[in-house]
Structure 1
Amino acid sequence: MKYAYRLGKAVMLPVACLPVAGLLMGVGFWLDPVGQGENLLLAHVMILAGSVLIDNMSLLFTLGVAVGLADEQDGTAALAGVISWLMIQKILSPDNVVILTGNRVDASSFSYINNQFVGILSGWIGAYCCNKYRFKVFHGPLQIYGGRVYALMMATIYAALASIMLLFAWPYLHSACLYVGESLIGTGALGAGVYGFLNRLLIPTGFHHVLNSVFWFDLAGIADLNSFWNGTGVYGQTGMYMTGYFPVMIFGLPGAALAMYHTAYPAQKKMAAGLLLTASLCSVLTGVTEPLEFAFMFLAPGLFLLHAILMGISMYICAALPFRIGFNFSAGLMDYFMCLNAPMTQNPGLLLPVGLLFGLLYYIVFRFCILHFHLKTPGREASEKENEKK
């Protein structure tokens, strides 16, 4: 548990830079919703600036975890982590997977290998090798390969071994996600609820994109997202796999952030407020939730499980109600206002009562769990005695 706490602290460093990136992308898409940056220079620059960090979140996590878990802060762990990440990305690129397996596996499953799980794994390899091997000493002509160089060399070996294991395991995990997603088709509101639960649960692995492709696009004949905006779906049904995100992203997660702020120790409230406020704004305005979710995912994994359950409940309730809204980018206010005149939109005003319900629910659940189980959410990292002294 102590190691998981250290991991959570390490992840906080890259997480802190994500809200601004999400806001830049969201505002860029809002300024040019049709061309998505192609028709307006300012929007294009903002989208590119934000996407640099969002698209490379995996690498940021590698650096954060490597630095956070390393015993010595001389840069060796960070370099070892980046080397590990680069090796895994190169070895497991779809083109190389075809060569390595003789085209016997679905190489397209490795399109999602650039994810936070691999980033954290690479960072852990870098920190582990640095902590374990950096003091290795060789004598004679081989002495140049001792110390930090040896740690870097060992990181390449560990990364290669990790790549081999992922090469065999990843296609099965990908197929399992596809199977589960396709099994939920035709199960109505219950299926939407299960999908919402699994979507949040799979975020660290990147496999939530696989589930999304089943329901949002034409992988299994649903194309919920495309049909919603094209007006080619079934009114009152199309949008059921998107609507439930809005109450959570606009109301629920900010409610959770407020609970974390209120339960933060007095000496750390200002620090917590800075992170939680920007992450909440990012979620509310743009629907980019990773900055807020990763802020407590590893510090308090039980809360993240509750968050996934609440997301499933939101998806179920919204799918059962005569309530349909959709998004192009994500389920934030910007997309909400853009979808008001979409052909498949149904009773968009229901977002307010449903959203307020989930905002209150998130606040109560998170506040109770944090205080009752003494969870180390942002602003509660130090002990109570240390904060009393401050």
Structure 2
Amino acid sequence: MNTRMNEVMQKFSRSVIVPVKFMAVMGLFLAVGVILQLQFMPSFLQTLGSLIKTMMDSMLNNLSLIFCIGIASSLANKKKVEASLIALITFLFFLAANNAWLTLTNQLAATGEVGLFGTGQGMVLGFQVVDMNVFLGMIIGCLVAWFHNKFSDKEFIDLFSIYGGSRFTFMLLIPVTLVLAIAMCYIWPVINQGISSLSGFILTTGLIGVFVYAFGNRFLIPTGLHHLLWMPFCFTALGGTAEINGKMYSGAVNIFYAELANSGSIVSLDHSLRFATFGFVKIFGSIAIAAAIIYCAKKEKREEVKGMVLPSTFVAMAAGITEPLDFIFLFTSPLLWFVHSLLTAISETILWAIGARTYMLYGLIDTLVSNAPFSPNITKFYLVIAVGSIMMIVWFVVFVFLIKKLDIKTPGRENTIESISEKIDLVPEKVKDDAILVIKGLGGAENIEQVTNCFTRLRVTVKDDMRVDDSILQKVSQQKGVVKNGKNIQVIIGMGVQTFKEEVCAALGITE
């Protein structure tokens, strides 16, 4: 039972990250648009900035629909285009049915001076509905994917063949969506109260809440389940709600982007920002860890270790993708990973305690651009630099002490004569050969059920995990580690995972 639940959570985790990847791009361009509208900019740049901001606002204000389609298409085992179309239509059906029922039963809330704020309802694509925010997209996306995977292969005799396949899934979802839309008029207000209470509890626990959140967010990375922790706080009402320029926004990231879009009138950033500062460790922690690993390597291997560690460090620091660096030492010493998570939690807690209010979700590039429109007096970015400088020293000293004291075999300290550059090859010459090796190591094509990927990992669901051969997977030149969780196998590849996944799918004859 636990294994099955873990599998479901893994699938949901990797599906949710699909739309989040695009959120990073949206935030970057939103910041650029805001900067271009600053008063000292030429008028044509201000106009361009206004257009860019309007485009990005359209995404920010329709995240529920984006998550719905992204999750449905990601969770669909086949016919992903049809699953996406069904998700879009089902989402619209829900809005229409929910609005119609609220109207028929005289439950529509009246619009006040601050719009629908505080009424539990909101406007979505022109429909006034129960305000479920991003949860609506998540629920419908998962619902559509489940029906699609279960019924999209159902076929009928020639006379009724038009109603088979994905159309049958669509037919089933119509009454289901109607019932769901009516039920949510009564169920969601109760859930919303529960969410508000839980959010209030976490928000009022002060520094303890920040510490626990930061620790869990880093410690869960090896399992791939960290998305289930930070996603709700960043994109749903669990992370808090705020009214900005007459509109309500939920979730730390959504609130910050709304503040970014109205930076000229913002005098202080919302307290929900405490859930969007985990980029600190990606910038400062990554530099310190890389320095410690290089310093502790044997002198004759340091240049080789630099060639392996520095590219991963740059990706972690600049773009916020830490997995390539994390997995360099994670599998060697879980203790180092535990200590790393503790230092992360301590850092974020200190930052919040001394008043730093800097948005740091990804890496240095996103951090600098996103915070640029705000005054340093608002973000207190200078505090981030001060704490970062001190914590880099702490990280370095602690890691060096543990590595040497416990003789941890981080890169460059191994007793083998095998070349590290051969063991972890950043630019392999035979990608197709690696794809064949992965398939073989996973028990053969007939043992593979599903192949997906996240930022840095190839995620595969196998039929029989006993057929997985670690010795074969270790021969894959691109892999930087393997995580096994029952039938869910993760092969850590790095930033080239998308291309690698396509090679594996091509070898398996899988088309999307």
TM-score (normalised: structure 2): 0.48
Instruction: Give structure 1 stretches of 5+ with no counterpart.
Output: 220-224, 233-237, 262-269, 284-290, 294-305, 366-370
TM-score (normalised: structure 1): 0.60
Counterpart CA distance in 2 for 1:89 and 1:111 is 9
Determine which structure has more spread, i.e. the larger CA radius of gyration: 2
Map 1:69-80; keep pairs closer than 5 Å. Answer: 69-73=75-79, 75-80=81-86
Counterpart CA distance in 1 for 2:286 and 2:92 is 34
2:237 matched residue in structure 1: 207
Is the contact between residue 66 and residue 77 of structure 1 (CA under 8 Å) also seen in structure 2?
yes
Q: CA RMSD in A?
A: 5.6
Is the contact between residue 81 and residue 122 of structure 1 (CA under 8 Å) also seen in structure 2?
yes
2:368 matched residue in structure 1: 333
One-letter amino acid matched to 2:382: G
Indicate the SS of the match to 1:136. coil
1:41 matched residue in structure 2: 47
1:14 matched residue in structure 2: 19
Counterpart CA distance in 2 for 1:207 and 1:387 is 43
Indicate the SS of the match to 1:163. helix
Match of 2:353 among 315, 320, 342: 320
How many residues of Structure 1 are paired with residues of Structure 2 in the alignment?
333
Indicate the SS of the match to 1:381. strand
Indicate the SS of the match to 1:17. helix
Is the contact between residue 61 and residue 119 of structure 1 (CA under 8 Å) also seen in structure 2?
yes
Residue 153 (structure 1) shift:
1.0
Residue 139 (structure 1) shift:
4.9
Is the contact between residue 252 and residue 358 of structure 1 (CA under 8 Å) also seen in structure 2?
no
Counterpart CA distance in 2 for 1:97 and 1:292 is 46
Instruction: Give structure 2 stretches of 5+ with no counterpart.
Output: 1-5, 110-117, 123-128, 218-228, 249-258, 291-307, 324-338, 400-409, 411-452, 460-467, 478-512
Is the contact between residue 278 and residue 348 of structure 2 (CA under 8 Å) also seen in structure 1?
no
Residue 43 (structure 1) shift:
0.8
Task: Give 1 or 2: higher helix fraction.
Answer: 1
Residue 81 (structure 1) shift:
1.6
2:144 matched residue in structure 1: 126
Match of 1:27 among 20, 25, 32: 32
Residue 152 (structure 1) shift:
0.8
Map 1:165-314; keep pairs closer than 5 Å. Answer: 165-179=183-197, 200=230, 202-203=232-233, 206-208=236-238, 211-213=240-242, 241=271, 244=274, 247-249=277-279, 251-254=280-283, 277=315
Identity of aligned residues (%): 18
Q: Does 1:59 align with 2:65?
A: yes
Is the contact between residue 254 and residue 280 of structure 1 (CA under 8 Å) also seen in structure 2?
yes
Q: Which has the higher contact order (CA 8 A, sep 6+)?
A: 1
One-letter amino acid matched to 1:161: V
Counterpart CA distance in 2 for 1:341 and 1:107 is 35
Task: Give 1 or 2: higher strand fraction.
Answer: 2
Counterpart CA distance in 2 for 1:41 and 1:62 is 32
1:146 matched residue in structure 2: 164
1:388 matched residue in structure 2: 475
Residue 103 (structure 1) shift:
5.0
Residue 78 (structure 1) shift:
1.8
Indicate the SS of the match to 1:388. coil
2:385 matched residue in structure 1: 352
Counterpart CA distance in 2 for 1:243 and 1:107 is 23
Provide closer, same or farther for how the CA distance between residues 318 and 137 of structure 1 changes in structure 2, counting only shifts above 3 A: closer
Is the contact between residue 70 and residue 77 of structure 1 (CA under 8 Å) also seen in structure 2?
yes
